[in-house]
Amino acid sequence: MPILVLNCGSSSIKFAVIDASCGERILEGSAEDLGGAGPGSLRWLAGDETGGGELAGARHEDALRSITDLLGRREGLRDSIRGVGHRVVHGGEVFTGSALIDAGVLERIEVLSSLAPLHQPFNLLGIRAMQALFPALPQVAVFDTAFHQTMPERAYLYAVPHALYREHGVRRYGFHGISHRYVAGEAVRMLELSPARSALITAHLGNGCSATAIENGRSVDTSMGLSPLEGLVMGTRSGDVDPGLHEFLAERLDLDVAGVTALLNRESGLLGLSELSNDMRRLTEAAERGHARAALAVELFCYRLAKHLAALVVPLGRLDALVFTGGIGENAAGVRERVVALLGHLGLRLDEERNAEHGVRSRGVITTDDPPVAVVVPTDEELLIASDTAALTR
C-alpha cells in the first residue's frame, strides 16, 4: 500500500513514498533552500537511481508541484498512491493520536498554529497543496505532540498561575513524539520485552534533542516543554536556562523578547558553546585535534544529557533499556560512551566493541547483556507516518 509522506518545514520539504505493508522505500528525497531569494533545489533517490537539480521557483508550492511531477514521471507511481501522511508539529491537547483530515481537523490544526508559529503554517501549506493536487486521496495528520498526551499533570504542568494553563494552554507538550514512539516499539521488539510491562528511556539526539520516559508504551515524561527550546542542549538551542536570562539579555543586548528567544534557538547550544559548529561530528574531530571549546561543548552536551536521563528514571521507578536514536544517538559512539559512563550508577556497563560498531551484531545492544541495557535503534519517522496513514485509510 504505497503512501506519500510529507514533512513540510520552513525552508525544506522532505518526502517519501513508502509501501506501508512492508516498509519498502520506493522513492524519497527533499526540496531545500525554500523561501529565500535564490533558487531552491530538489534531490531524490529511488533504489540505486538518483536525480535532482534546481527548482523552477523557491516557493513551497513550486517544490510540491515538482515533487508531484516527479511522481508522475515514475511509471505507475502516482496512480498507485493510496493516501498522503503529513507530519504536523503541534496537536495541542486536541489530538491524542493521528487523524484523518477533514474540514474540522484542518480548522483545529490552524487554531493550534499559535503554539508552533514557526512550523505549523508550513505543515498546513503542505496539507492544502496536497488536497488540491490529490483531491481524491485521503490525507492524514500525524502529530509530533500526540504521543506525549499520556503524561500526567505532575509532568506536564508548570508551577505558574493555573489560569495560564486553563485560559492559554500554557503547559509542557513535548515533541519528537513520532520518533520516540517508533523507537520505543522497535526496542521492545528487538529486546523481546513485554509491551505491557516495559520501562524505557528514549534519547532522540540530532540537531534537535529530546528524551522521554516510556512506561508500558506510554509517554510519562519528556524533556521538551511548551516549545522545543526546553530541555537538553542541542545543535543551536540552549535547552534549559534560567527564565530570568530573557530579561537580563534584553537589558544588556538591547533586544526584545523575540530577539532573545531567537538567540537561544539559533545561536546557542553546541554552536554557541564551541563558537565553531553545531555539528557533533565536526566538534568531535576538532576536540581530538585540541580545540578546547569544541571539547567543552561535547563534554557539557553529554553531562547535561546524562542528568536529564537520570531524572527520567524517577517517573519510571526502574529501567529496562536506554535507547539512543537520531543522527548523534545512532552514530556518535564517543557520545554514547561518555553518557553511559556517567550513568554507571544505574547499572549500565558499556561493551566497547559493541558500541564501536553501533550494536549492529548484538540486536543494537551496546552494553553488557545484564539489565538494564543501552541500545541503538535507528529511527524511521516516515515509516510510522506511513503506517498510521495506511491504518486510517483502509
Q: Give dist(CA 37, CA 58) in Å, integer.
A: 8
Rounded to 10 deg, the angle between the 257-266 and 245-253 helix axes is 110
Based on the domain organization, do 312 and 364 belong to the same domain? yes
350 in a structural domain: yes
* Residue labelled with grid coordinates 553518557: 339
**How high is the pLDDT of residue 56?**
74
144 is catalytic: yes
150 in a structural domain: no
Based on the domain organization, do 283 and 214 belong to the same domain? yes
**How high is the pLDDT of residue 58?**
79
- From the list 339, 344, 336, the residue with the least C-alpha distance to 370 is 344
- 294 and 283 Cβ atoms separated by less than 8 Å: yes
Enclosing domain of residue 137: 2-143
71 in a structural domain: yes
Based on the domain organization, do 114 and 181 belong to the same domain? no
Based on the domain organization, do 120 and 32 belong to the same domain? yes
Based on the domain organization, do 371 and 251 belong to the same domain? yes
204 in a structural domain: yes
224 in a structural domain: yes
Pick from 93, 128, 143: which residue ends a domain? 143
Q: Look up the CATH number of the domain holding residue 231.
A: 3.30.420.40
11 in a structural domain: yes
Based on the domain organization, do 132 and 55 belong to the same domain? yes
Rounded to 10 deg, the angle between the 333-342 and 280-288 helix axes is 80
**How high is the pLDDT of residue 327?**
97
- From the list 209, 248, 220, 243, the residue with the least C-alpha distance to 326 is 209
**How high is the pLDDT of residue 321?**
98
**How high is the pLDDT of residue 159?**
98
Q: What is the pLDDT along the chain (394 residues), one digit of tens a residue?
A: 899 999 999 889 999 999 999 999 999 999 998 887 778 899 999 998 999 888 877 788 889 999 999 999 888 899 999 999 999 999 999 999 999 999 999 999 999 999 988 889 999 999 999 999 999 999 999 999 999 999 999 999 999 999 999 999 999 999 999 999 999 999 999 999 999 999 999 999 999 999 999 999 999 999 999 999 999 999 999 999 999 999 999 999 999 999 999 999 999 999 999 999 999 999 999 999 999 999 999 999 999 999 999 999 999 999 999 999 999 999 999 999 999 999 999 999 999 999 999 999 999 999 999 999 999 999 999 999 999 999 999 8
Pick from 120, 143, 166: which residue ends a domain? 143
339 in a structural domain: yes
Tell me how many domains the chain contains. 2
From the list 48, 79, 102, 144, the catalytic residue is 144
Give the 3-state DSSP-derived string for 273-326, with helices as H, strands as E and coil as C: HHCCCCCHHHHHHHHHCCCHHHHHHHHHHHHHHHHHHHHCHHHHCCCCEEEEEH
Dihedral Cα 382, 386, 387, 388, nearest 10 deg: 100
Based on the domain organization, do 202 and 88 belong to the same domain? no
217 three-state secondary structure: coil
**How high is the pLDDT of residue 40?**
87
DSSP label of 365: B
Based on the domain organization, do 123 and 197 belong to the same domain? no
- From the list 177, 189, 205, the residue with the least C-alpha distance to 309 is 205
Based on the domain organization, do 292 and 336 belong to the same domain? yes
Cα 333–334–335 angle (5° rounding)?
95
Q: Give dist(CA 212, CA 231) in Å, integer.
A: 11
Could you tell me the end-to-end alpha-carbon distance of the chain, in angstroms, rounded to an integer? 9
197 in a structural domain: yes
